[in-house]
């Protein structure tokens, strides 16, 4: 994978009305994300509902996405699992299928000490040769990884060179990590809410599932091109939409509703368990799209 950077879309996983995997929508969603400028895809993440899929379904999603992308952009596959052996098997399968990297968060652990965390990643790295994206997202596993232990991972594991950071306060942790190591390409997340600030602290991009990927790409390209005022203007214009989509508990549901409105998937319903949205939220989405000037969400926004 080498050095990765830019806007990686955390791909949603489409389901049919009976909660089966919808492969036709999955292929269409992949093509849609590439058409609107996604610089990479991260599949089977938390917001990709990986925890709701069987191992066989995860492999099927991975194979479908890799085949559809056909090498056009990098793919990072989430392979986190409560069982280490399954995590390793999924990681090996990802690289065999042609993935460019795997994203792994520690599972819930009784021993959450720094040595145990480093040993976990070392054990995984011994079984695979491809790049590892370390996922730092304590809400999913209740494992806190300090800047010091992240630096130990970077120093001890040559193929752990990217970090998906979602442990607030993000910007302060970026600086703290940089004081310990410069070996990580750091990616933010949290719906893109802090993309500008993350880039200002030296992040290499973000991995998020925000439904309007082209907005984040435009912000990133303007910022990296030295046009900070342009980046700020674009970000500030669409921030109400970014903020609304990232509501706790219903963020995934809103995201899928918007992706359906964009014509990228057929059915907006996540797999159970999930939190539905009400008719008022649907009206608020209409209102927000008008407020930010999106008349036709099915079209790529020209920025």
Tell me the per-residue pLDDT of 182-199, one tens digit each, with 9 for 90 and over. 999 999 999 999 999 999
**Residue 298 domain flag:** no
- Residue found under tokens 């830019």: 6
Contact of 75 with 103, CB cutoff 8 Å? no
Give me the average pLDDT of each 10-residue run along the chain (303 residues). Answer: 82 97 98 98 96 97 98 97 96 96 95 96 96 94 95 95 94 97 94 96 96 98 98 98 96 98 97 97 97 96 89
Point out which residues pair with 40 in neighbouring strands.
8
Cα→Cα distances 215→9, 182, 207, 220, 231, Å: 12, 28, 13, 9, 10
Q: What per-residue confidence (pLDDT) applies to 3?
A: 61
| Count of structural domains within the chain | 1
**Residue 302 domain flag:** no
DSSP string, 76-124: EEE---SSHHHHHHHHHHHHHHT-SEEEE-PPP-S--SHHHHHHHHHHH
**Residue 300 domain flag:** no
- Using CA atoms, how far apart are residues 286 and 263, in angstroms rounded to an integer? 15
Radius of gyration of the chain from Cα atoms? 18
Tell me the per-residue pLDDT of 60-88, one tens digit each, with 9 for 90 and over. 999 999 999 999 999 999 999 999 999 99
**Residue 66 domain flag:** yes
Q: Which domain holds residue 94?
A: 6-291
**Residue 226 domain flag:** yes
- Using CA atoms, how far apart are residues 90 and 63, in angstroms rounded to an integer? 12
Q: What per-residue confidence (pLDDT) applies to 302?
A: 87
**Residue 303 domain flag:** no
- Using CA atoms, how far apart are residues 78 and 22, in angstroms rounded to an integer? 19
Q: What per-residue confidence (pLDDT) applies to 150?
A: 97
**Residue 244 domain flag:** yes
- Using CA atoms, how far apart are residues 63 and 303, in angstroms rounded to an integer? 33
- Using CA atoms, how far apart are residues 293 and 234, in angstroms rounded to an integer? 12
**Residue 281 domain flag:** yes
CATH, residue 154: 3.20.20.70
């Amino acid at each position: 994978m080498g050095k990765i950077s830019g806007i990686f879309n955390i791909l949603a996983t489409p389901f049919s009305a009976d909660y089966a995997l919808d492969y036709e929508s999955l292929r269409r969603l992949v093509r849609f994300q590439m058409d609107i400028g996604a610089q990479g895809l991260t599949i089977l993440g938390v917001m990709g509902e990986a925890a709701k899929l069987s191992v066989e379904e995860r492999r099927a999603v991975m194979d479908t996405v890799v085949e559809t992308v056909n090498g056009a952009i990098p793919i990072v596959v989430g392979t986190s699992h409560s069982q280490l052996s399954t995590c390793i098997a999924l990681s090996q399968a990802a690289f065999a299928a042609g993935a460019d990297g795997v994203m792994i968060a520690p599972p819930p652990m009784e021993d959450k000490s720094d040595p145990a965390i480093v040993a976990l990643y070392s054990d995984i790295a011994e079984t695979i040769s491809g790049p590892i994206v370390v996922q730092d997202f304590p809400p999913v596993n209740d494992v806190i990884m300090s800047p010091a232990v992240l630096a130990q991972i970077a120093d001890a594991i040559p193929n752990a060179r990217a970090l998906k950071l979602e442990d607030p306060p993000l910007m302060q942790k970026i600086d703290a990590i940089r004081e310990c190591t410069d070996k990580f390409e750091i990616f933010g997340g949290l719906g893109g809410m802090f993309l500008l600030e993350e880039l200002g602290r030296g992040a290499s991009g973000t991995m998020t599932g925000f439904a309007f990927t082209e907005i984040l790409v435009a912000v990133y390209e303007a910022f990296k091109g030295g046009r900070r005022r342009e980046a700020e203007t674009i970000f500030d214009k669409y921030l109400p939409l970014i903020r609304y989509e990232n509501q706790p508990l219903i963020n995934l549901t809103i995201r899928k509703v918007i992706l359906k409105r964009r014509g990228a998937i057929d059915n907006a319903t996540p797999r159970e368990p999930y939190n539905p949205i009400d008719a008022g939220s649907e009206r608020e989405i209409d209102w927000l799209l008008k407020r930010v000037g999106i008349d036709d969400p099915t079209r790529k926004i020209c920025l």
